[in-house]
Amino acid sequence: MKRLFICLYLLWCQTAVAGAAAELSPPVRVIAHPSVQVDALSPAQLRSIYLMRQVVWPDGVAIRVFTLAPRSAVNLQFCRDQLQLFPYQLERVWQKLTYSGTGTPPTELQDQQAMLQAVATTPGAIGYIGIQDETQVVKVIPIRP
């Protein structure tokens, strides 16, 4: 009985720490170039864009997809929370497109400031950031359930 209590206590501690860490990190937001004429995306639409299946916006403008380094904390959070995929799953799809010659992977950027600048200056661009108050030059696109 004592062992069970200890196991449950350790599990509770681990859950509490993970929850607190998740609350400390700001939510990752999807951003787009101001000219993009989309006001919201569903999770399926966002996943389709990042899996390179949807390559144009509804108004016909080509989508330019930007991503952060696969091992960055913001990228991990974006994949987990928004796309509901693991980063390696995205990388496999992108590698398949590249090696088969049927597509090109997204442009990988070094940091969130580079992401903001690239999305703000590239028509049709989409990306994501975890920065809260740096979105004056881009359009924030909510993800609706």
Q: Tokens representing 1?
A: 């009985």
Q: What is the pLDDT of residues 7-41, one digit of tens each?
A: 556 566 565 544 444 445 779 999 999 999 999 99
The predicted pLDDT at position 24 comes to 56
Domains delineated in the chain: 26-141 (3.40.190.10)
Distance of CA 105 to the CA centre of its chain: 15
DSSP class per residue in 80-143 = IIII-S-HHHHHHHHHHHHHHTS--PPEEESSHHHHHHHHHHSTTEEEEE--SS--TTSEEE-B
